[in-house]
């Protein structure tokens, strides 16, 4: 059933069956990439969560492996929630949140050298309780790293009435942990949008790293914004969006410099986790959650998509930029290129000759002040009243009327589906565009859509019902110079049917 679903992605990683959420234990080990994920093979709902496991040698195609962790009697009886993989002097070791009695505590499992079997350590839970005397909202998920001769760990949490936080711990052996204190405490009312609750009552899946690839805690040069703390803002049960603080981690605390949105798709790129690969790239995966109802997910038989791996780099302004790993280009097949041309607001849409629902598009564009480029995807053949397709998902690039280097990236999903039960909320965010120039990359994979405009990501889900595949391009305002457009259909990464691994 799931395999036949036309909305199921074909070149993104999805679980063999049932439910998938957060990426876990993302890493590279002797050349092989490992992706673990929150998994329920029993059905497309979040329950009795296990750790699915897949490996890759190229970050493009994936091989399934048996489940690495499953709940068992004890501190993870109700679920093996999110966590990380670390290299403990050659031994692959998982640090994760065991769930039992509706609370989560840190647990550890050690792997065999070939990653095929995992043994939970007798010391579990390795941290017996959250810090005493603090009124916490929740407490789970782990970021673990080596610093000097010790291990350090962050556990995501929140302090009631104050805001999200991450508690810092230290250990010599990953088994016995000393509590140090909160790394720092966010202000729940603080935020890029000024909205109350923007940073959440709790920070899920905290991920602290140095963007220059050097180990955390090593002294750095004069610039004071080289550390990044990624978290997923969670508001009393509601998944809000991924955010990051730039700042400086030193000693036992983090001095924040700025707060930023990680992906303009908000909750559609949730619970990201990153790692440094053997070539020194900071690679991040995120969970593309669904925008359809619980009942529709169960009915479909599958839920959740893993993002394509994306590389994070630091821009001159001290914030992050992202691009899908170049390896993904291996999947490119038939290509269509459009000659450079000028599009004007009054003119008819350009005939792209591009169609498909599994596409990689690359465009270089120059926008005049006030101009708007409109790229339509998944357009249905039959038109509505005014001749526009009955269904269409529209990406817009808008340059500020006064010109300059600023504009907006917008995803208009309001006509993306005739199904009234799916999420079609608008998504948008500010887009730096030096002198009106934009490099736009769009990866469309059935219901999964990843957009990168000058490195600013916007990830979302769309649920067309009419099977439309038309790609349209037009200037809806002002003058847009299309410098180049190249499009490819993308190959599938899973051939035949996958075995449901227990
Ligand atoms: N999902 C996990 C938690 C995490 C949340 C449970 C984020 O560990 O906080 O599946 O999506």
Claim: this prediction has a pTM higher than 0.80? yes
CB 2 within 8 A of CB 302: yes
Q: Which CATH superfamily is domain 18-326 in?
A: Glycosyl hydrolase domain; family 43 (2.115.10.20)
Mutation choice for ligand 1 from 37, 69, 200, 271, CB with most ligand atoms inside 8 A: 271
Q: Residue 499 — pLDDT band, cuts 50, 70, 90?
A: low
Ligand 1 centre distance from Cα of residue 127 (Å): 18
**pLDDT at position 194:** 43
**pLDDT at position 411:** 98
Question: How confident is the model over 245-290, as pLDDT tens digits?
Answer: 999 999 999 999 999 999 999 999 999 999 999 999 999 999 999 9
Query: What SS3 state is found at 187?
Result: coil
Q: Indicate if the pLDDT at residue 229 is higher than 80.
A: yes
In the chain, the percentage of residues whose pLDDT exceeds 70 is 96
Q: Please report the DSSP string for 288-313 in residue order.
A: E---S-HHHHHHHTEE-EEPPPEEEE
Residue (of 109, 112, 62) closest to 91 by Cα position: 112
18: left (phi over 0), alpha (psi -120 to 50) or beta: left
Query: Which residues line the pocket of ligand 1, CB cutoff 6 A?
Result: 21-22, 38, 49, 81-82, 97, 140-141, 204-205, 270-271
**pLDDT at position 223:** 57
> Where would I find the beta strands (DSSP E) of 134-237?
136-147, 150-159, 163-171, 177-185, 202-210, 227-235
Instruction: Report the chain's mean pLDDT, rounded to a whole number.
Output: 94
Ligand 1 centre distance from Cα of residue 207 (Å): 13
Question: How confident is the model over 162-183, as pLDDT tens digits?
Answer: 899 999 999 999 999 999 999 9
- Domain limits, the chain: 18-326, 332-490
Cis bond before residue 56 (omega within 30° of 0)? no
3-state secondary structure string across 38-87:
EEECCCCCCCCEEEEEEEECCCCCCEEEEEEECCCCCCCCCEEEEEEEEE
**pLDDT at position 453:** 98
**pLDDT at position 195:** 46
**pLDDT at position 501:** 55
**pLDDT at position 260:** 95
- φ/ψ of residue 185, rounded to 5: -115, 125
Ligand 1: nearest atom to the Cα of 97: 8
Q: Could you tell me the sign of the dihedral formed by the alpha carbons of 44, 46, 49, 55, in that order?
A: positive
Ligand 1: nearest atom to the Cα of 270: 11
From atom 10 of ligand 1, which residue's Cα is the shortest distance away?
81
**pLDDT at position 386:** 77
Q: Residue 436 — pLDDT band, cuts 50, 70, 90?
A: very high
Question: How confident is the model over 367-402, as pLDDT tens digits?
Answer: 999 999 999 999 998 887 777 899 999 999 999 999
Q: Residue 218 — pLDDT band, cuts 50, 70, 90?
A: confident
Q: Indicate if the pLDDT at residue 86 is higher than 80.
A: yes
**pLDDT at position 382:** 82
**CA–CA dist 210, 282 (Å, integer):** 9
- Could you tell me which CATH number the domain at 332-490 has? 2.60.120.560
**CA–CA dist 460, 305 (Å, integer):** 11
Ligand 1 centre distance from Cα of residue 81 (Å): 6
């Amino acid at each position: 059933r799931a395999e036949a679903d036309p909305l199921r992605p074909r070149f993104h990683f999805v679980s063999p069956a049932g439910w998938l959420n957060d990426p876990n234990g993302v890493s590279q080990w002797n050349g092989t990439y490992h992706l673990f994920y929150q998994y329920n093979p029993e059905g497309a709902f979040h329950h009795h969560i296990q750790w699915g496991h897949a490996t890759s040698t190229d970050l493009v195609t994936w091989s399934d492996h048996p489940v690495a962790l499953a709940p068992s009697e004890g501190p993870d009886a109700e679920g093996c929630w999110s966590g990380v993989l670390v290299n403990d002097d050659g031994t692959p070791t998982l640090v994760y949140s065991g769930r039992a009695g509706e609370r989560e505590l840190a647990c550890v499992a050690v792997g065999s050298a070939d990653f095929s079997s995992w043994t939970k350590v007798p010391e579990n839970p390795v941290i017996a309780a959250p810090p005493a005397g603090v009124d916490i909202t929740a407490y789970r998920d782990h970021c673990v790293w080596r610093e000097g001769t010790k291990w350090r760990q962050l556990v995501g949490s929140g302090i009631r009435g104050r805001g999200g936080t991450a508690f810092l711990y230290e250990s010599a052996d990953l088994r016995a942990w000393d509590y140090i204190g909160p790394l720092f405490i966010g202000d729940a009312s603080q935020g890029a949008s000024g909205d109350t609750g923007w940073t959440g009552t709790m920070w899920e899946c905290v991920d602290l790293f140095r963007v220059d690839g050097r180990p955390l805690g090593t002294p750095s040069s004069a610039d004071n914004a080289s550390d990044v703390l990624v978290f997923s803002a969670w508001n009393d049960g509601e998944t809000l969006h991924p955010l990051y603080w730039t700042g400086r981690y030193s000693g036992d605390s983090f001095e924040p410099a700025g707060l930023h949105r990680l992906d303009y798709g908000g909750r559609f790129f949730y619970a990201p986790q990153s790692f440094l690969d053997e070539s020194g790239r900071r690679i991040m995966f995120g969970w593309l959650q669904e925008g359809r109802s619980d009942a529709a997910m169960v009915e479909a038989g599958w839920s959740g998509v893993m993002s394509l791996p994306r590389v994070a780099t630091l821009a001159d302004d001290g914030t992050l930029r992202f691009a899908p790993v170049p390896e993904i280009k291996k999947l490119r097949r038939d290509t269509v290129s459009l000659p450079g041309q000028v599009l004007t607001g009054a003119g008819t849409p350009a005939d792209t000759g591009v169609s498909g629902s599994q596409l990689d598009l690359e465009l270089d564009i120059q926008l005049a002040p006030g101009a708007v480029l409109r790229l339509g995807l998944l357009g249905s053949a039959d038109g509505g009243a005014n001749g526009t397709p009955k269904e269409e998902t529209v990406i817009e690039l808008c340059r500020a009327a006064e010109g300059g280097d600023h504009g907006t990236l917008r995803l208009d999903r309001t006509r993306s589906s005739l199904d009234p039960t799916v999420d079609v909320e608008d998504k948008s965010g500010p887009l730096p565009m030096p002198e009106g120039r934009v490099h736009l990359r769009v990866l469309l994979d059935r219901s999964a859509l990843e957009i990168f405009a000058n490195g600013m990501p916007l990830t979302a889900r769309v649920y067309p019902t009419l099977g439309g595949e038309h790609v349209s391009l037009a200037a809806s305002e002002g003058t847009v110079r299309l410098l180049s457009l190249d499009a490819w259909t993308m190959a599938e990464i899973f051939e035949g049917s996958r075995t449901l691994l227990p």
